[in-house]
């Protein structure tokens, strides 16, 4: 199976379609949310088919509720399988989170305690996804705003265990690392030092919003602004340590004109190029 | 005893305004309400935005603040039943019809029916239009036309097509004299636009019967029976130009 290139990509927004078509080679790959392409036909599929011909593609799910109890939604998994068969994306990824309660879909990535029970559940779900899709998936670390007394594993250990048991890869969202660590008054560099960088198949970068709490800042994963400077700094360290990885810039709300998003991806591409050179010198 | 199902159920109730689920904490435990509120807000905001994307004219008619408050109420009572939000909102028109603060605006539900139908049309399956040259030579008494799955006819109690059209970008701002009931024709054209036209009962009957399997001739005769002055030509031309007449049953594919 083909892989995403070790270059910078952008989250595709339909309003950028014409601009991207006239800007060939602007980014190394595009990523779409799978659920936006689960209609039967029409413009979304026409656009994706056209872009697919020119770009490597990452299919990113937001609705599978891998961190939820019970069985995965079989209808939804079948829809994902059809999408994978139709577009043959270089990568499929989902989140360490839950988003459904029974049949109720909540349209948000909600947190779970990290316990032996949830580890076993998440591993079963990842196994099922990989078996049905017939491919290795990437699991993304979440942004979180609360902690749970029930948790008896660190997030990094949980992710590492899922990858070890299921063979899945990891999607490292550096903004999520910064958001969660800031919110839980932890050192993001310590988090990253414990994280298995060699399992990373893709990196996400995105903007966050900030609120003030008495104990300090509360960061919110809003994807409505440029990537913050401390996140760029962390990202550069990750690349310097682990080498180049396919890197996506996400911008889902208050979406800017294409050149703005393209420039953010360009900044990631520069860091990827520098990181690659640093690694070459070191070896 | 598995704890996760109970945890998720309690978290879900917390999202809808009940007490925080057991075990939720933070480095500064007195801030946990404010932190959990991020999830409450994300869920409400995310679903409100999804509904606003589907019903932009309703949002324009009632205003942003009213829409956000109303969407929150709707979303709590009618959670999406699938992660595919493209199909969410089918019960929104009925909700609007029974929403007491909108009792003085009975046309809202009909406008929402148009917007929901437009969403269905936008995402409807693709199908190849028929070749006009090939259709032209066929005897109308033997011609069974097939229509694109995006084509929908909505018989509405209110002049909702006029209201919808008046609330499109660049529409006239002249005072609108509202007539009575209107029937909407919704379809997706070759350029993926989804226009909405007001049609007469003759056109509506004709589309009903074409879709029911009647020949073109029979459908036109049935339309003339409800409207003796009905002329089938403009409707067929409009459907043909939009590309929503498909390969017919006869063997005349392009």
Q: What are phi and psi of A98, to 5 degrees?
A: -125, 155
For every residue of A85-107, DSSP letters joined together read HHH--SEEEEESSEEEETTEEEE
CA B183/CA B159 separation, integer angstroms? 8
Q: Is the pLDDT of residue B173 over 80?
A: no
Give the least confident one: A264-273, B173-182, B222-231, B244-253.
Answer: B244-253
pLDDT of residue A282: 57
Q: Is B141 in the A-facing interface, judged by CB distances under 8 Å?
A: no
Contact A211, B35 (CB under 8 A): no
d(CA B173, CA A157): 61
Q: Encoding tokens for residue A218?
A: 């509360």
Phi-psi region of B243 (alpha: psi -120 to 50; beta: other; left: phi over 0): left
> Would you state the pLDDT for residue B217?
96
Interface A-B: count of C-beta contacts within 8 A = 146
Environment class of B1 (CB within 10 Å of its CB; exposed 0-12, middle 13-18, buried 19+): exposed
pLDDT at residue B17 is higher than 50: yes
pLDDT of residue A279: 60
- Tell me the percentage of chain B whose pLDDT exceeds 90: 84
**CB contact (8 A) between residue A35 and residue B5:** no
Give the distance from residue A149's alpha carbon to the nearest chain B alpha carbon, in angstroms. Answer: 5
Q: How far apart are CA B128 and CA B247, in angstroms?
A: 7
Which residues from chain A sit within 8 angstroms of residue B117, using beta carbons? none
How far does the CA of residue B15 sit from the closest CA of chain A (Å)? 9
- Taking an 8 Å cut-off on Cβ atoms, the answer to whether A148 and B26 are in contact is no
Name the residue facing B46 among A101, A108, A214 (closest C-beta): A108
Confidence of residue B199 (pLDDT cuts 50, 70, 90): very high
Taking contacts as CB-CB distances below 8 angstroms, the residues of chain B near A45 are 126
Contact present, B191 and B115 (Cβ < 8 Å):
no
Interface with chain B: mutation pick from A105, A129, A215, highest number of B CBs within 10 Å: A105
Which tens digit of pLDDT belongs to each residue from A248-271?
999 999 999 999 999 999 999 999
Q: Measured between CB atoms, does B195 come within 8 Å of chain A?
A: no
Question: Which residue in A has a C-alpha nearest to residue B24's C-alpha?
Answer: A148
- Kindly report, residue by residue over A90-146, the tens digit of the pLDDT: 999 999 999 999 999 999 999 999 999 999 999 999 999 999 999 999 999 999 999
Of A41, A150, A185, the CB nearest to B126: A41
Q: Which residue has the higher pLDDT, A46 or B135?
A: A46
Cβ neighbours of A70 in B, within 8 Å: 5
Phi-psi region of A92 (alpha: psi -120 to 50; beta: other; left: phi over 0): beta
Chain A residue with minimum CA distance to B88 = A105
Using the Cβ of B192 and the Cβ atoms of chain A, whether some distance falls under 8 Å is answered with yes
- Yes or no, beta carbons of A105 and B81 under 8 Å apart: yes
Q: Which of B24, B43, B188 sits opposite A148 (nearest CB)?
A: B24
pLDDT for position B178: 76
Q: Does B15 touch chain A (CB under 8 A)?
A: yes
Confidence class of residue B253 from pLDDT cuts 50, 70 and 90? very low
- Cα of A113 to nearest chain B Cα, Å: 8
- pLDDT of B252 reads 45
What pLDDT score does B99 carry? 98
Is some CB atom of chain A closer than 8 A to the CB atom of B82?
yes
Q: Which residue of B has its CA nearest to A115?
A: B4
pLDDT tens, residue by residue, A199-228: 999 999 999 999 999 999 999 999 999 999
Q: How confident is the model at residue A280 (pLDDT cuts 50, 70, 90)?
A: low
The confidence score (pLDDT) of residue A277 equals 65
**Any CB–CB contact under 8 A between A35 and chain B?**
yes
- Give the pLDDT confidence score for residue B254 in this predicted structure: 43
ipTM exceeding cut-off 0.90 for this assembly: yes
pLDDT for B172 equals: 81
- pLDDT tens digits for A54-99? 999 999 999 999 999 999 999 999 999 999 999 999 999 999 999 9
Q: Would the CB atoms of A215 and B38 count as touching at under 8 Å?
A: no
Instruction: Judge whether A150 is closer than 8 Å to chain B, CB to CB.
Output: yes
CA distance B20 to B74: 22
CB contact B191 to A (< 8 Å): no
By C-alpha distance, the chain B residue nearest A110 is B39
- At A18-51, the pLDDT tens digits run 999 999 788 999 999 999 999 999 999 999 999 9
How does pLDDT run across B52-102, given as a tens digit for each residue? 999 999 999 999 999 999 999 999 999 999 999 998 999 999 999 999 999
- Cβ–Cβ of B123/A39 closer than 8 Å? yes
User: How sure is the predictor about A1, in pLDDT bands with cuts at 50, 70 and 90?
Assistant: low
DSSP state of B126: P
What's the pLDDT tens digit per position in B24-46?
Answer: 999 999 999 999 999 999 999 99
**pLDDT at residue B251, rounded to an integer:** 46
Q: Does B155 touch chain A (CB under 8 A)?
A: no
Q: Long-range contact list for A182-189, CB < 8 A, 24+ apart? A: A182/A216, A182/A217, A182/A219, A183/A144, A183/A145, A183/A217, A183/A218, A183/A219, A183/B35, A184/A144, A184/A147, A184/B26, A184/B27, A185/A215, A185/A216, A185/B27, A188/A234, A189/A234, A189/A237
In total, chain B counts a number of residues equal to 254
Rounded CA-CA distance B172/B176 in Å is: 9
Say if the Cβ atoms of A117 and B32 lie within 8 Å.
no
* pLDDT recorded at residue A220: 97
Q: Among B8, B30, B35, whose Cβ lies nearest the Cβ of A146?
A: B35
């Amino acid at each position: 199976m083909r892989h995403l290139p070790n270059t910078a990509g952008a989250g595709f927004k339909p309003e950028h379609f014409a601009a991207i078509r006239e800007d060939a080679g602007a980014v190394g790959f595009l990523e779409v949310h799978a659920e936006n392409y689960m209609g039967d036909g029409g413009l979304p599929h026409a656009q994706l088919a056209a872009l697919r011909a020119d770009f490597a593609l990452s299919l990113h799910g937001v609705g599978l509720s891998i961190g939820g109890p019970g069985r995965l939604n079989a209808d939804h998994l079948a829809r994902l399988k059809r999408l994978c068969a139709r577009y043959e994306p270089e990568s499929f990824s989902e989140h360490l989170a839950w988003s459904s309660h029974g049949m109720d879909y909540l349209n948000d990535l909600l947190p779970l305690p990290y316990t032996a029970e949830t580890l076993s559940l998440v591993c079963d779900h990842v196994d099922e996804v990989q078996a049905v899709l017939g491919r290795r998936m990437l699991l993304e670390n979440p942004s979180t705003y609360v902690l749970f007394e029930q948790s008896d594993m660190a997030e990094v250990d949980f992710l590492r265990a899922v990858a070890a048991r299921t063979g899945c890869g990891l999607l490292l969202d550096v903004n999520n690392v910064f958001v969660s660590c800031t919110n839980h008054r932890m050192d993001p560099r310590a988090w990253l030092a414990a994280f298995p960088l060699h399992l990373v198949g893709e990196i996400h970068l995105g903007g966050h919003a900030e609120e003030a709490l008495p104990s300090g800042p509360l960061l919110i994963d809003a994807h409505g602004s440029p990537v913050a400077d401390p996140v760029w700094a962390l990202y550069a360290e990750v690349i310097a340590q682990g080498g180049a990885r396919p890197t996506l810039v996400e911008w889902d709300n208050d979406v800017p004109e294409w050149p703005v998003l393209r420039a953010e991806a360009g900044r990631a591409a520069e860091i990827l190029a520098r990181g690659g050179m640093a690694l070459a010198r070191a070896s | 005893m598995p704890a996760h199902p109970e945890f998720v159920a309690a978290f879900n109730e917390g999202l809808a305004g009940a007490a925080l689920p057991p075990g939720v904490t933070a480095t500064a435990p007195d801030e946990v309400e404010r932190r959990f509120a991020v999830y409450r807000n994300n869920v409400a905001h995310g679903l409100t935005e999804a509904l606003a994307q589907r019903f932009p004219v309703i949002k324009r008619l009632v205003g942003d603040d009213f829409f956000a408050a109303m969407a929150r109420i709707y979303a709590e009572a009618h959670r999406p039943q699938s992660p595919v939000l493209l199909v969410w909102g089918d019960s929104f028109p009925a909700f609007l019809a029974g929403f007491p603060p909108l009792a003085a605006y009975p046309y809202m539900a009909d406008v929402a029916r148009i917007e929901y139908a437009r969403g269905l049309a936008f995402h409807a399956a693709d199908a190849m239009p028929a070749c006009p040259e090939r259709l032209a030579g066929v005897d109308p008494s033997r011609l069974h036309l097939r229509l694109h799955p995006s084509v929908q006819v909505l018989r509405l109690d209110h002049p909702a097509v006029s209201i919808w059209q008046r609330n499109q970008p660049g529409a006239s701002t002249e005072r609108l004299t509202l007539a009575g009931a209107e029937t909407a024709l919704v379809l997706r054209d070759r350029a993926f636009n989804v226009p909405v036209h007001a049609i007469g009962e003759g056109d509506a009957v004709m589309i009903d019967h074409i879709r029911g399997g009647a020949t073109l001739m029979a459908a036109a005769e049935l339309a003339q029976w409800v409207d003796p002055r009905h002329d089938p030509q403009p409707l067929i031309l409009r459907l043909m130009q939009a590309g929503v007449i498909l390969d017919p049953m006869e063997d005349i594919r392009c």
